[in-house]
Amino acid sequence: MLTRRRFLAASLATPLAAPALRASEGPIKLRELYDRHAMSELAKSSEGTRISVEGYMAPPLKAESRFFVLTRIPMSVCPFCETEAEWPEDILAVYTRRVVDVVPFNRKITASGVLELGSHRDDETGFLSLVRLMDSSYE
């Protein structure tokens, strides 16, 4: 029998179980991290945890880099180098453990790392990110 106490207990436990349930479904899509130009509830609840996100590697800002930008759609040119290029709003900075081996821009990859939210400026490149994966790997 469903009582008020059981209903409230189940309601409070549901948000806690959501990230674990989502993680078991496979990699997150970039669009799932955003909610109308802000961080989604999934992103907020996943902060500080290791997640996997699928997307495309944008052309790197410089050679021998230990980070790259993951995009929702393939991008054949570096958006920072081409003023006419349209930079997508739903991007993810991916900081790797080692120097990045560049992947063709049109091949989908999955990046895994610890999700961090909030403003961060890369010391080496000056790139400003609001969301990123740290201690990452990709395949």
pLDDT digits (tens, 9 = 90+) for 17-59: 444 444 457 899 999 998 887 899 999 999 999 999 999 998 8
State CA 21 to chain mean position distance. Answer: 18
Per-residue pLDDT, 125: 77
Per-residue pLDDT, 88: 63
pLDDT digits (tens, 9 = 90+) for 89-137: 778 999 998 999 999 999 999 999 999 999 888 887 788 888 999 999 9
Judge whether residue 67 has pLDDT over 80. Answer: yes
Looking at beta carbons, which pairs linking 78-84 to residues 24 or more positions away fall under 8 Å? none
Per-residue pLDDT, 79: 58
Tokens at 48, concatenated? 């500080």
Q: What are phi and psi of 43, to 5 degrees?
A: -60, -45
Which residue has tokens 């739903």? 90
Report percent pLDDT > 90 for the chain: 41
In this structure, the dihedral spanned by the alpha carbons of residues 117, 80, 66 and 111, taken in order and rounded to 10 degrees, is 60
Identify whether the C-beta of residue 115 lies closer than 8 Å to the C-beta of residue 51.
yes
Per-residue pLDDT, 12: 43
Tokens at 73, concatenated? 């759609």
* Domains along the sequence of the chain with CATH: 27-138 (2.40.50)
